[in-house]
Amino acid sequence: METANLLELLRQIKSGRLTPEEGAARLRREPFEDLGYAKIDHHRWLRQGSGEAIFGSGKTSPQLIELVDRMAQAGSRNILITRLPAERADDLVAAGTPLVYHPTPRLAVAWPDPVPLTGAVVVASAGTSDLPVAEEAALTAETLGSQVTRLYDVGVAGLHRLLAQQDSLIAARAIVAVAGMEGALPSVVAGLVGCPVVAVPTSVGYGANWGGLAALLAMLNSCANGVSVVNIDNGFGAGWIAHSVNRTESPT
């Protein structure tokens, strides 16, 4: 219940147009979001500069078109659609949805409305096969408003490539470290910096990799401080968190 409406109700009680008993009954029946919850979402939007993202995989084109439409009408911009097959993107465009589509991470930004990029997020990835996940993270953070530096193909089997990028790493306010196979990159990166490192295991690999399990466990067991982990291949989640850290302002 909007504060305005609540006040109106209480004023009606005061004026006698509503008895206290009737008011109590109405307050009891009021859906919870109307007693303050809706504001939370509103706050969220204000703080984050973007609405919710849509998990595009497994949704039909009509479902996606309607979902985006409703969000856009509610004022959302830069609506991220993850894991969107190219054909679905074409359908959205054909339906008139303003859309930028990134084929490598299969990520779309509907109703794009670029925000100024600030801060410093680094997205580092171990191998070329990790690129789709890394790009999902980088584009997510950029769409939300973070300045992103990409350090790709800096796997731990060729340390010099990573060490040559120390300046970028040290300057970062948040780092996304993407790696498949043995998933060692986040540990090495976190050993070089002081900011939070969001580790993304990828399903890149074969055999005893078991769809990313090896990298996931490695990252969860990182011996370096500052590493937290998101789901396998969840570039979006990591980009979201990195931006969330990056946009943090000095405490007041």
Q: Are 135 and 152 in contact (CB under 8 A)?
A: no
Residues 6+ apart with CB under 8 A from 82: 53, 54, 55, 56, 57, 105, 106, 107, 136, 236
In the bound state with a second copy, the residue whose beta carbon lies nearer, of 111 and 173, is 173
Residues 6+ apart with CB under 8 A from 242: 121, 123, 137, 141, 146, 174, 175, 176, 198
Q: Measured from the CB of residue 116, what is the shortest distance to a second copy in angstroms?
A: 11
In the bound state with a second copy, the residue whose beta carbon lies nearer, of 19 and 90, is 19
Q: Measured from the CB of residue 128, what is the shortest distance to a second copy in angstroms?
A: 7
| Dihedral over Cα of 237, 105, 172, 41: its sign | negative
In the bound state with a second copy, the residue whose beta carbon lies nearer, of 36 and 112, is 36
Alpha carbon distance 26, 8 (integer Å): 12
Q: Measured from the CB of residue 241, what is the shortest distance to a second copy in angstroms?
A: 5
Q: Measured from the CB of residue 101, what is the shortest distance to a second copy in angstroms?
A: 19
In the bound state with a second copy, the residue whose beta carbon lies nearer, of 111 and 233, is 233
Q: Measured from the CB of residue 120, what is the shortest distance to a second copy in angstroms?
A: 7
